Chains A and B, each alone.
Chain A
Amino acid sequence: MIPNALPQSLVDNPLLSDWVGFEQGGRVRVSTGKVEIGQGILTALVQIAAEELEVAPGRIRTVSGETSAGPNEGVTAGSTSVAMSGAAIRLACAEVRALFLARGAERLGVPAEALSIADGRFQRDGRETDHDYWSLAREVDLARPATGNAPTRPATQYRVVGQSLPRIDLPAKIEGRGFIHDMLPPGVLHARVLHRPWRDARLVALDEAAVRRAAGGAIDILREGDFVAVTAEQEFVAFRAAQAMREKAAWDGGTPIPPDANDPAWLEAQPARTRVVDTGTPPQTSGGTVVEATYWRPFQTYGSIGPSCALACLEHDPEKWGPVFGKDHAQNNGLERDDDSRKRHPAPADGQLTVWSHTQNPYALRDQLARCLGLDAAGVTVLHRQAAGCYGHNTADDAAFDAAFLATRTPGRTVRVLFTREDEFLAAPLGPAMLVKMRAVLGADRRPVDWTIDLSSPVHSNRPGVHGHHGFRSREALPNPPPQPAERNDRPDAVGGGASRNAQALYDLPFHRMIHRTVDPVPLRTSSLRGLGAFANIFAIESFMDELADTAGEDAVAYRLSLLSDPRGRAVIEAAAEMCGWPGTAPPGEGRGLGIGFARYKNRAAYMAVAAEVEVDEEVRLLRVWGAADCGLTITPDGALNQLEGGIVQAASWTLCEELRFADGRVATATWEDYPILRFTKIPEISLRLIGDPRDPPLGVGEASMGPTAAAIGNAVARALGTRIRNLPLSRERIMAALLA
Chain B
Amino acid sequence: MPSSADTEVVLTVNGARVRLVTDPTRPLLSVLREELGLVGSRFGCGLEQCGACMVLIDGEPEFSCAREVATLAGREVVTIEGLGGLAGPGGGLHPLQQALLDEQAGQCGYCLSGLMISGAALLSRNPRPSRQEILAALDRHLCRCGVHNRVVRAVQRAGAAMAGAGTPA
Contact = CB atoms under 8 A, between A and B. Distances in A.
Interface of A: 37-40, 164, 166-167, 169-171, 173-179, 181-182, 184, 216-218, 233-236, 239, 302-307, 386-391, 418, 420-421, 638-639, 642-643, 645-650, 671-673, 677, 679-681, 683, 685-686
Contacts of B136: 680-681
B144 A236 contact: no
A234 B31 CA distance: 10
Contacts of B26: 236
Interface string B109-131: 11111001000000000000000
Contacts of A673: 47, 49
A217 B144 contact: no
B104 A166 contact: yes
Interface string B79-101: 11100000000000100010011
Interface of A is mostly: loop
Interface stretch (B32-40, B70-78, B161-169): B32-40
Contacts of B100: 170, 174
A170 B113 CA distance: 12
A499 B101 CA distance: 38
B157 interface: no
A181 B106 contact: no
Contact-residue bracket for chain B: 35 or more
A307 B144 CA distance: 12
Contact of A646 (B34, B138, B145): B145
Given A170-B104, A176-B79, 12 more contacts: A184-B39, A236-B27, A305-B50, A305-B108, A305-B143, A642-B104, A642-B107, A671-B47, A673-B49, A677-B144, A679-B139, A680-B135
B57 interface: no
B142 A305 contact: yes
B144 A671 contact: no
A358 to B, nearest CB: 10
Which 3 pairs across A and B sit closest by C-beta, in order of nearness? A176-B40, A649-B146, A38-B108
A143 B147 CA distance: 42
A307 B47 contact: no
A387 B107 CA distance: 11
A403 B87 CA distance: 41
Interface string B1-40: 1010100000000000000000101110010011001111
A176 B144 contact: no
29 contacts: A164-B104, A166-B104, A167-B104, A169-B109, A170-B101, A170-B106, A173-B109, A174-B112, A175-B93, A181-B39, A182-B39, A216-B25, A217-B3, A217-B23, A236-B26, A236-B34, A305-B110, A306-B44, A388-B144, A389-B144, A420-B46, A421-B45, A642-B147, A643-B107, A645-B146, A645-B149, A671-B49, A672-B47, A683-B148
Contacts of B63: none
B144 A650 contact: yes
A178 to B, nearest CB: 7
B144 A680 contact: no
B168 to A, nearest CB: 22
Contact of B106 (A167, A179, A182, A648): A167
Given A236-B34, A671-B45, A306 B97 contact: no
Contacts of B97: 174-175
Nearest to A358: B108
B110 A179 contact: yes
Interface string B46-57: 110110100000
